[in-house]
Amino acid sequence: MGLPKFVQLIDVGPRDGLQNEKQPVPAEVKIGLVHRLQQAGLTEIEVTSFVSPKWVPQMADAPAVMAGIERQSGVRYSVLVPNMKGWEGAVGCKPDEIVVFGAASELFSQKNINCSITESIERFAPVVQAALEAGVRVRGAISCAMACPYEGDVAPERVQLVARLMRQIGVQRVDVADTIGAATPRQTQAALEAALKHYAVDDISGHFHDTYGQALANTYAALEMGIWNYQSSVAGLGGCPYARGATGNVATEDLVYMLHGMGIETGINLERLVDAGQYISQTLGREPNSRAARALLNRRGVVHA
């Protein structure tokens, strides 16, 4: 199969990227980041989460962030929702898409959302139904699709099971997530093949954290299978509070550099994307965690090695 000619990216930096940030990040900064991402040409942005502020304090300002965004037409704004309480908080903020988030590993499900996989599906079902009735799209994240910080390697059959359960309750598309960024390309392909048993290739996205530096290789392996939707995080921000030591998603800048170099279109302006990454990195007091961004900034003479 030839590689896709176009890749659709969802920048998850404002959500996955910032959720684990220890220092308080004001809502205005999060809003400023979303604005810069849309100016750079991102047409899908995962903005925030409607989760318990006791579990993830950094996302407690979700309504303020959603309210402060000047929406651009053609951009889809998504938010994480784990249960009905989350949906009740989210619906008034008019997200274009919600993300219910489950896991292929039992222990990760317990640690992350405090319930078993079966219970999580029971909680998601009414949320999915309410969202679809309200005309809001529904995506489902399958965490620990290849490896789990508590259980080790995860069998593809587990991914297939969760994909089937998500399909049954009406989830429209799924993210196959390497939460701890430990997978290698063949493992990634096996997890994606498992998801493909229940979802079309157009309805599966790759969500690869880059802890072990495998995310670009895993993306290439997924491209070979025709997968053309990916999630990435500007400036490589992030990590999951319930997967200690896991670093951020692959940096959007690195992914865009690779894709454009391969002649694959994204609709994203790489220089503007670097500006967005520079904005949030400077605010957080660090350099962008993106090799491509640092190289491009070096060329501009902003960062000196």
Of the ranges 130-138, 192-200, 239-247, 295-303, which one interacts with ligand HMG (CB under 6 A)?
239-247
Instruction: For residue 282, give the amino acid letter.
Output: Q
Give, as ranges, the residues between 122 and 161 that touch ligand HMG (CB under 6 A): 141, 143
Shortest CB 33 distance to ligand HMG, Å: 17
Q: How far apart are CA 140 and CA 149, in angstroms?
A: 20
Residue 218: which residues within 8 A CB-CB, separation 6 or more?
178, 183, 184, 185, 188, 206, 208
Of the ranges 237-245, 257-265, 275-283, 293-301, which one interacts with ligand HMG (CB under 6 A)?
237-245
DSSP run (H or E) holding 165: helix 156-168
Instruction: From the list ligand HMG, Mg ion, none, pick the one residue 112 interacts with, judged by a Cβ distance below 5 to 8 Å according to partner type.
Output: ligand HMG
Nearer to Mg ion, 16 or 44 (CB): 16
Q: How far apart are CA 239 and CA 248, in angstroms?
A: 4
Contact 176, 192 (CB under 8 A): yes
Instruction: From the list ligand HMG, Mg ion, none, pick the one residue 85 interacts with, judged by a Cβ distance below 5 to 8 Å according to partner type.
Output: ligand HMG
Size of the site for ligand HMG (CB under 6 A): 27
Active site residue 93: no
Give, as ranges, the residues between 7 and 36 that touch Mg ion (CB under 5 A): 16
Q: How far apart are CA 194 and CA 54, in angstroms?
A: 34
Shortest CB 174 distance to ligand HMG, Å: 11
206 by DSSP, 3-state: which? Answer: strand
Instruction: From the list ligand HMG, Mg ion, none, pick the one residue 82 interacts with, judged by a Cβ distance below 5 to 8 Å according to partner type.
Output: ligand HMG
Q: How far apart are CA 259 and CA 251, in angstroms?
A: 12
DSSP run (H or E) holding 261: helix 252-261
Q: Does 83 bind ligand HMG (CB under 6 A)?
A: yes
Nearer to ligand HMG, 32 or 241 (CB): 241
Residue choice 18, 79, 100, 177 for contact with ligand HMG (CB under 6 A)? 177
Catalytic residue selected from 93, 144, 148, 240: 240
Burial class (CB in 10 A: 0-12, 13-18, 19+), 280: buried
Q: How far apart are CA 291 and CA 67, in angstroms?
A: 33
> Would you state the torsion angle of the CA atoms of residues 47, 49, 50, 56, taken in this order, to the nearest 10 degrees?
-140
Catalytic site positions: 240
Question: Which residues contact ligand HMG (rule: CB under 6 A)?
Answer: 16, 19, 49-52, 55-56, 80, 82-83, 85-86, 89, 101, 112-114, 141, 143, 177, 179, 207, 209, 240-242
Question: Which residues contact Mg ion (rule: CB under 5 A)?
Answer: 16
